[in-house]
Structure 1
Amino acid sequence: MPSTYNGVENNTHPSWWKDPGLRWNVLWVMTTAMGQVVGGYDGSLMNALQAVPKLFEAFPRLEDSNILGVTSALLFLPGLVVPFLAAWLADTVGRKIPILVGMSGVVAGGIIQATAQNLGQFMAGRFVMGTFSCIGAVGGLSLCAELSHPRFRSQATSMQISVYYVGSILSSWVTYGCLQHLPDSHWSWRAPVLIQCAFPAIMLGFLIFIPESPRWLIAKGRTEEARKIFAKQHANGDENDPLVNLEVEEVHIALDAERSNKTGWSALWATKGNRKRMFIVITTAAGAQLNGVGIISYYFVPVLKSVGITSYLSQSLISGGMSISNLFFAVAAALLVERLGRRTLWLASTGMMLITLVIVTVLSAEFQKGESPAIGGATIAFLYLFYAGYDLAWSPLNSAYTVEILPYTIRAKGLAVWNSVTYVTLCINTWVNPVALSAIGYYYYIVYIGILTYLCLIIYFVYPETRGRTLEEVAEVFDKDSPLTSHHHEDIEGLGNKGGDVEMYEGKEN
Structure 2
Amino acid sequence: MAPDKNWLSAQSARQADPVLTRIVEQDHTPWYRKPNLRKLYMLLLPTCIGIEMTSGFDSQMINTVQISPQWKAYFDHPRGALLGIISAAYNLGAVFALPLVPYVNDRYGRRWSIFLGSWIMVVASLIQALSVSAGMYVAARFMLGFGIPFCIIAGSSLMGELAYPKERPIMTSLFNALWFVGSLIAAGISFGTQGLNDDWAWRIPSMLQMAPSLLQIIFIFMIPESPRFLVSKDRREEAYRTLVYYHAENDFHSAFAAAEMAQIEHTIRLELINSQRSWRELITVPGLRKRTIIGAFLGLFTQWSGNTLLSYYLNDLLGLIGFKDPNFIGKLNVGLNSWNLLNAVVISLLVRRFPRRKMYLTCATSLLFCYIAWTVSVQQYQTTAKVEPARLTIAIIFIYQACYNIGYNALTYTYLVELFPFAQRAKGITIFQLFGRSAGFFTTFVNPIGLEDIGWRWMITYCAWLSFEIVFIYFMFPETYGRTLEELAFLFEDRSLADEATMKVEKQMEWAERRWSRVEDRMSWDMDVIMPNKFDVRTEDTYSSRGAPTNRGSGDGVAREVASTPTTVHKQAIRGERGGWFDN
TM-score, reference length from structure 2? 0.81
1:429 lines up with 2:443 in the alignment: yes
- Deviation of 1:400 after TM superposition, in Å, equals 1.2
SS in 2 for 1:63: coil
CA contact (8 A) 1:86 1:136 kept: no
Question: Which of 32, 41, 48 is the equivalent residue of 2:48?
Answer: 32
Kindly provide the amino acid, as one letter, of the partner of residue 249 in structure 1: A
The residue aligned with 1:145 is 160
Question: Partners in 1 of 2:379 and 2:505 — Cα distance?
Answer: 58
Q: Choose between structure 1 and 2: higher helix proportion.
A: 1
Q: For residues 430-456 of structure 1, what are the alpha-carbon distances to aligned partners after superposition, in whole Å with 9 as ceiling and x for unaligned?
A: 111111111111101111101100001
Question: Partners in 1 of 2:428 and 2:188 — Cα distance?
Answer: 35
Q: For residues 168-191 of structure 1, what are the alpha-carbon distances to aligned partners after superposition, in whole Å with 9 as ceiling and x for unaligned?
A: 111111111111x32x22211111
Kindly provide the amino acid, as one letter, of the partner of residue 45 in structure 1: M
SS in 2 for 1:469: coil
1:229 lines up with 2:245 in the alignment: no
Question: Partners in 2 of 1:376 and 1:428 — Cα distance?
Answer: 28
SS in 2 for 1:76: helix
1:56 lines up with 2:81 in the alignment: no
Question: Which of 193, 211, 218 is the equivalent residue of 2:224?
Answer: 211
1:395 lines up with 2:400 in the alignment: no
Identical columns (%): 29
- Deviation of 1:154 after TM superposition, in Å, equals 1.2
1:196 lines up with 2:229 in the alignment: no
The residue aligned with 2:374 is 360
The residue aligned with 2:30 is 15
Question: Which of 135, 151, 169 is the equivalent residue of 1:136?
Answer: 151
- Deviation of 1:273 after TM superposition, in Å, equals 2.2
The residue aligned with 1:42 is 58
The residue aligned with 1:297 is 311
CA contact (8 A) 2:161 2:226 kept: yes
The residue aligned with 2:540 is none
Kindly provide the amino acid, as one letter, of the partner of residue 338 in structure 1: R
Question: Which of 356, 360, 367 is the equivalent residue of 1:342?
Answer: 356
Q: For residues 30-57 of structure 1, what are the alpha-carbon distances to aligned partners after superposition, in whole Å with 9 as ceiling and x for unaligned?
A: 1211111122112321112111111011
CA contact (8 A) 2:21 2:482 kept: no
Label 1:227 to 1:496 Cα distance change in 2 as closer, same or farther (>3 A). Answer: closer
Query: Residues 319-338 of structure 1 correspond to what in structure 2 (within 5 A)?
Result: 319-338=333-352
The residue aligned with 2:532 is none
Question: Partners in 1 of 2:490 and 2:422 — Cα distance?
Answer: 14
Question: Partners in 2 of 1:255 and 1:5 — Cα distance?
Answer: 16
Kindly provide the amino acid, as one letter, of the partner of residue 46 in structure 1: I
Label 1:472 to 1:140 Cα distance change in 2 as closer, same or farther (>3 A). Answer: closer
Which structure has more relative contact order (CA 8 Å, sep 6+)? It is 1
The residue aligned with 2:545 is none
Question: Partners in 1 of 2:117 and 2:321 — Cα distance?
Answer: 39
The residue aligned with 2:383 is 369
SS in 1 for 2:291: helix
The residue aligned with 2:130 is 115
Give the alignment's Cα RMSD to 1 decimal: 2.2
Question: Partners in 2 of 1:202 and 1:169 — Cα distance?
Answer: 18
SS in 1 for 2:426: helix
- Deviation of 1:232 after TM superposition, in Å, equals 2.1
The residue aligned with 1:313 is 327
- Deviation of 1:98 after TM superposition, in Å, equals 1.0
The residue aligned with 2:270 is 257
Q: For residues 72-128 of structure 1, what are the alpha-carbon distances to aligned partners after superposition, in whole Å with 9 as ceiling and x for unaligned?
A: 111110222312211100000111011011111111111111111221221121111
- Deviation of 1:417 after TM superposition, in Å, equals 0.9
- Deviation of 1:486 after TM superposition, in Å, equals 3.8
The residue aligned with 2:520 is none
Question: Partners in 1 of 2:92 and 2:41 — Cα distance?
Answer: 33
Label 1:499 to 1:420 Cα distance change in 2 as closer, same or farther (>3 A). Answer: farther
The residue aligned with 1:187 is 200
Label 1:367 to 1:7 Cα distance change in 2 as closer, same or farther (>3 A). Answer: closer
The residue aligned with 1:456 is 470
CA contact (8 A) 1:9 1:241 kept: no
- Deviation of 1:477 after TM superposition, in Å, equals 4.3
Question: Partners in 2 of 1:497 and 1:323 — Cα distance?
Answer: 52
Question: Partners in 1 of 2:22 and 2:352 — Cα distance?
Answer: 19
SS in 2 for 1:150: coil
CA contact (8 A) 1:28 1:210 kept: yes
Q: For residues 270-318 of structure 1, what are the alpha-carbon distances to aligned partners after superposition, in whole Å with 9 as ceiling and x for unaligned?
A: 3332222111111111111011111111111100111101001111111
The residue aligned with 1:177 is 192
Label 1:292 to 1:493 Cα distance change in 2 as closer, same or farther (>3 A). Answer: farther
SS in 2 for 1:317: helix
Kindly provide the amino acid, as one letter, of the partner of residue 170 in structure 1: I
Question: Partners in 2 of 1:9 and 1:472 — Cα distance?
Answer: 14
The residue aligned with 2:141 is 126
Kindly provide the amino acid, as one letter, of the partner of residue 75 in structure 2: F
The residue aligned with 1:439 is 453
CA contact (8 A) 1:9 1:499 kept: no
The residue aligned with 1:503 is none
Question: Partners in 1 of 2:247 and 2:23 — Cα distance?
Answer: 12
Question: Partners in 2 of 1:489 and 1:295 — Cα distance?
Answer: 47
Bigger Cα Rg: 2
CA contact (8 A) 1:173 1:320 kept: yes
